[in-house]
A and B are shown apart, each in its own frame.
Chain A
Amino acid sequence: MFARTSALVFLPQCGQVRNMATLKDITIRLKSIKNIQKITKSMKMVAAAKYARAERQLKPARVYGNGAVALYEKAEIKAPEGVANKHLLIGVSSDRGLCGAVHSNVAKAIKAKIATLTGEGKEVMVVNVGDKLRNILQRTHSNYLLLSCKEVGRKPPTFTDASIVATELLNMGYEFDQGAVIYNRFRSVISYKTDEKPIFSIDTVANSENMGIYDDIDADVLRNYQEFALVNIIYFGLKESTTSEQSARMTAMDSASKNASEMIDKLTLTFNRTRQAVITKELIEIISGAAAL
């Protein structure tokens, strides 16, 4: 009796032996993968439609955004070096996943910038647009988060969305000197690149050396101009980001559907082989049973 109980205790521990998958197991698996393939295929088509619309809206938005940053480029505005100035990073992403490396690229860029800036002793805060970005940054960099925006990504972004973000940001009262909007710039259907556009505070722009050539500017006009420029740059980042996100989701769902098709093919082969093996086994049993008689 002693020996028997110890044998019973032994069996489950070496129970990692793989059994021959029964026909039922394979059928269940095949059905679920076929469903997944249908879902990813339809997600790909939805993403393709949204991508087409986003790309159409991106064309005027690009001209608009480039016009908005033209001043900073032509006047070569930059913040005074060496002063411990405050930085602001605005990361643009969205709420929805299943779009490849879109969110993690922006998060990686933000983390790298935070590391360099804190290494130089500068103060930095982060505004994130999109829940996914907040989830990534909250674990390690939660004390840098200034403001988080949700409900991004369901509908195409509008100028009103950008102005809401900018208004909330300005109401927070964080007196930054310079900063950047970090977004994914759309290059083509299969490629996008994480990029940044600079933003400056009113004081930095006013004190920049080349501003002297601009005539007839008083503080009020400059403040209005700067606020409008901030909204424009955020809007530009949002538009580029959504286009990159939709194209990334399209390619991700496309490769998921392809992988699912491959799995279905392999499983169908296994299913047929198993079925034939079962039939052969039964036949052999019948024949050997008949032969024994």
Chain B
Amino acid sequence: MMAARFLRRSIPVLRQARCYADAPSGSSQMSFTFASPTQVYFKEASVKQVDVPTLTGAFGILPAHVPTLQVLRPGVVTVFNDDGSAAKFFVSSGSITVNADSSVQLLAEEAFPLDQLDVAAAKANLEKAQSEMASASDEAARAEVQINIDANEAIVKALE
């Protein structure tokens, strides 16, 4: 009787000792939120993969990605849905947070689906920005024009 009670008490302890890594809770699902200040594209949706362009390089996020914080650069975000279709968006800047519970928050200052952007207008803006670079006087103005150029270059590259 005593032995049985001991066994019953010790078995849970054994089970605990065998697990050496914390199983991430709900790691097969990624809760993906993608929004700009004026529009929400995904709200706690379950998607397969998200590719984001960040200041340190472009990388893809799958469920159970290691937690990280990153800042976006102008570029294309590709979202691969569970059913295999891909949706592309152009983002100007923003931040992305991957938390330990596999939730991803992609907050973009401006984000538009690629089909809403016009290549001709982007090329015209790019040329105008490049000519403004020559006449930019101080650091702040030069930085603004550089940002303009970067964003327009990224749009043109994404649409071609």
CA distance A158 to B38 in the complex (A): 9
**Closest-CB distance, A199 to chain B (whole angstroms):** 15
A213 to B68, CA, bound (A): 8
Cα–Cα distance between A217 and B56 once the two chains are bound (Å)? 10
Give Cα A254–Cα B21 distance, bound, in whole angstroms.
Answer: 61
Q: By the criterion CB–CB under 8 Å, are A229 and B95 in contact?
A: yes
Residues of B within 8 A of A217 (CB): 68-69
Stretch at the interface among A44-52, A61-69, A91-99, A180-188: A61-69
Q: Given contacts A70-B105, A225-B95, A229-B95, is CB(A214)–CB(B67) below 8 Å? A: yes
Inter-chain contacts of B152 with A (CB < 8 A): none
Bound-state Cα–Cα, A60 to B93, Å = 18
Q: Is the Cβ of B99 less than 8 Å from the Cβ of A63?
A: no
The verdict on A216 contacting B107 (CB below 8 Å), with A60-B37, A71-B99, A74-B99 known, is no
Query: Is A228 on the interface with B (CB-CB < 8 A)?
Result: yes
Main secondary structure of the interface of A (DSSP, over half): helix
A67 in contact with B33 given A60-B40, A159-B109, A224-B55 (CB within 8 Å): yes
A176 close to chain B: CB less than 8 A: no
Q: Say yes or no: A70 contacts B103, CB within 8 Å.
A: yes
Check B66 for interface membership: any CB of A closer than 8 A: yes
Whether A225 and B100, one on each chain, are in contact in the complex, defined by CB atoms closer than 8 angstroms, is no
- Complex interface: chain B residues within 8 A of A158 (CB): 37
Collect the chain A residues with CB atoms within 8 Å of residue B55's CB: 220-221, 224
Pair A221/B70 contact, Cβ less than 8 Å = yes
Q: What band does the interface of chain B fall in when counting residues whose beta carbon is under 8 Å from A? A: 20 to 34
What is the distance, in angstroms, from A100's C-beta to the closest C-beta of chain B? 27
Q: B98 CB to closest chain A CB, in angstroms?
A: 8
Look across to chain A and name the residue whose beta carbon is closest to the beta carbon of B39. Answer: A60
Asked if B119 CB lies within 8 Å of chain A CBs, one says: no
A67 to B34, CA, bound (A): 9
Query: Which of A67, A74, A215 interacts with B35 by CB under 8 Å?
Result: A67
Q: Are B103 and A60 in contact (CB under 8 A)?
A: no
Chain B 36-50: CB-based contact to A (< 8 A → 1; otherwise 0): 111110010000000
Known: A57-B38, A63-B40, A70-B105. A75 touches B99 (CB 8 A): yes
Residue contacts A-B, CB under 8 angstroms, 24 given? A59-B40, A60-B35, A60-B37, A60-B38, A61-B38, A63-B43, A64-B107, A67-B97, A67-B105, A67-B107, A159-B37, A159-B109, A213-B67, A214-B69, A215-B68, A216-B56, A217-B69, A220-B55, A221-B69, A221-B71, A224-B95, A225-B69, A228-B71, A228-B93
- Knowing that A61-B38, A71-B99, A220-B55 are A-B contacts, what are 9 other residue pairs whose CB atoms are under 8 Å apart, sorted by A's residue number? A60-B38, A63-B35, A67-B97, A74-B99, A159-B109, A214-B68, A221-B55, A224-B55, A235-B37
Return the 5 tightest CB-CB contacts between A and B, nearest first.
A67-B105, A159-B37, A224-B71, A64-B35, A60-B40
